[in-house]
Amino acid sequence: MIEIKELVVKYKSSKGEVYAVDGLNLEIDSGLIFGLVGESGSGKTTLGLSLLRILPPTAIIESGNVLISGTDVTKLKESEMRKWRGKKISMVFQGAMNSLNPLMTVEEQVAEPLIIHENMDKDQALLRAKENLENVGLGENILKRYPHELSGGMKQRVVIAMAIIEHPSLLIADEPTTALDVVTQHRIMKLFRRLKDEFGVTIILISHDLPIVAEVADKVAIMYGGKMSEVGDAKEVVTQSKHPYTQGLIRSIPDPRSTKVIRGISGEPVSLMNPPKGCRFYDRCSQRRDLCKTYDYKPAILENRHLVYCNLFEERMA
Amino acid sequence: MSNVPYILRRTVSAILTIFAIIILNFILFRLLPGNPITLLYRSPALTSRQIALLTSEFGLNQPLWIQFVIFFKNSLVGNFGISFFYKEPVTTVIIPAIKNSLILLIPANLLAILLGMFTGAVSAWRRGKKVDGTILGVSLALYAMPTFWLGSMLIVMALYVGGIPVEGMYSIGALSQNFLARFLDFLSHLALPLITLTLVLYGEFTIVMRNSLLDVLSEDYIVTAKAKGASDSRILWKHAFPNGLLPLVSLIAISFGLVIGGVMFTEIVFSWPGIGFVTYTAIFMRDYPVLQGAFFLITITVVLANYFADFVYGYIDPRIRYQ
């Protein structure tokens, strides 16, 4: 179980402070695939990096708590936190990009967590790396290769093999299928499902692509402007979305069988430099009301633990 | 095995470059006004019969392409003729000079590279901290400092302190002493030119290493390494450092390649009898054969240094090996 309480993460820049995650609350049950969806700049990657505390030097966790199976990782010493990284919590980055070291072979990189955490000797670690790569569907011929010799899909599976070699209880996957073709995307998603079923790993799937997430996730959280918009059962959020932002997202998904004109969400994403008081989506919302200007982000709890962060549901507010 | 074709290609291109150098070396000196006869014998008393005799002795009455073939053959075996000034074969003049230069250049380069790599890496890792500011400031100052000025200042300091030789390789009479005394005498002569050259080279290595490593540290695979639980020193030395080293390899090659030009100022300031010093005096003496030999050797060292760099690149960067 992961509990995020009133988490605030800010970036310092020469122009001012940017609150990428701003007073966020979220509960994630163990053993689920949890989708975290939002547009660029909504704070979803920052949230992921905060769980591992590997934020860039310009960012700091200003306040709030992140409890992972009861331990507050924001309070851990750096030396303790390092023991968690790659062992209890792993992260999968967008593998098609630059997330593998170009000068190290695949097997060396996959085996590295074992050498770091278990002090395992190299031969034994390489053997385990081989088994793990087989587990994600990569054969022996890949072991001695370098990242530039692999396709995007292969690299992505290497990154996943590396992240699960220590059997972590939490796996954070940040845009794991972006820039991959649809067939490979599907294959990677099936792999995540299998990891959850076989090893009971909790997976946080960060993506901007709601349809792909909905395909595999058990629960989904929609983020906007550093705050939550809607959290609930994946199917329910997609089919019975309540928040105007989620509804807008779903309307903007193209459907090849339909000739309907796609309606996007008008306006620009909210600036996190000087965010407005009240609802972050106010400027772009088609159903806004005056009291939205002072909305305090108390969610409405609908049936089935479906949370909606919107004034339209105030009457059901707990 | 898979890097054989790469090495083969680099070898062929190095050989072709050397051929091109020989051709240019031939053409450039033919473009100079006059010919070796008019340069050698400016006496108006020289009869036309004597001139014709000399011309045929030098082979200058032969067609240009035959002259080129002879020149080409001689270049390949290192025969650049007789020095006008020293009256000795050019190789006898140049080869000891090159040895003297290398004695100075190799330790200076190695010291500068090792110091530069280390302090550059520390500087990048501690970006914006006090250590970084200090290292960067010192490096920039040394990089910008003219060699002859730094050398002169060291000479002034040495004279003030006393007891440190400021010119040449040996004291007068040192060659007749026993080996140990001779060696110590040599080391004391080496000290100042070595310090000068090391400091001059150090600044650039540090700055290049720092910048290259700063780029690498912002790469995604550094975040990946951190997410695996790697310690700071493991991230820096195992992941970042080897990647940051790549641009440095070509800089090292260039710096070794510029043996002659690069050490010239240091050699002149400290009267170190190296190839830079010999070239410098040859220019004043209009000693064309020595210059021709020196130019040939300068370019050959550049080609060989780059060839070596290509080889090292192929070894440390798998992306190049297979191209």
Q: How far is A105 from chain B (nearest CA, A)?
A: 9
Number of Cβ pairs closer than 8 Å across A and B? 70
pLDDT given at position A41? 85
**Do the Cβ atoms of B221 and A86 come within 8 Å?**
no
**Do the Cβ atoms of A101 and B322 come within 8 Å?**
no
Interface residue ranges in chain B relative to chain A, Cβ cutoff 8 Å:
219-221, 223-231, 234, 239, 242-243, 316-319, 322
Q: How far is B35 from chain A (nearest CA, A)?
A: 55
Q: What are the residue ranges spanned by the domains of chain B?
A: 84-321
Section B155-175 average pLDDT? 84
Interface residue ranges in chain A relative to chain B, Cβ cutoff 8 Å:
52, 54, 82-87, 90-91, 93-94, 97-104, 112-113, 116-117, 146, 148-149, 159, 162
Cβ–Cβ under 8 Å, residues B258 and B302: yes
Q: Give the residue from chain A lying closest to B218, CA to CA.
A: A56
Q: Give the residue from chain B lying closest to A83, CA to CA.
A: B229
pLDDT given at position A318? 45
Q: How confident is the model at residue B322 (pLDDT cuts 50, 70, 90)?
A: low
ipTM over 0.85: yes
- Picking from B233-237, B261-265, B266-270, which range would have the lowest pLDDT averaged per residue? B261-265
Task: Flag whether pLDDT at B171 surpasses 90.
Answer: no
pLDDT given at position A146? 93
Q: pLDDT tens for residues B305-316?
A: 888 888 888 788
Look at domain B84-321 and name its CATH class.
Answer: mainly alpha
Q: How far is A191 from chain B (nearest CA, A)?
A: 20
pLDDT given at position A317? 47
Q: pLDDT tens for residues A16-48?
A: 899 999 999 999 999 999 999 998 889 999 999
Tell me the domains of chain A and their CATH numbers: 2-88+168-316 (3.40.50.300)
pLDDT given at position A86? 93
Q: Give the residue from chain A lying closest to B245, CA to CA.
A: A103
Q: How far is A161 from chain B (nearest CA, A)?
A: 12
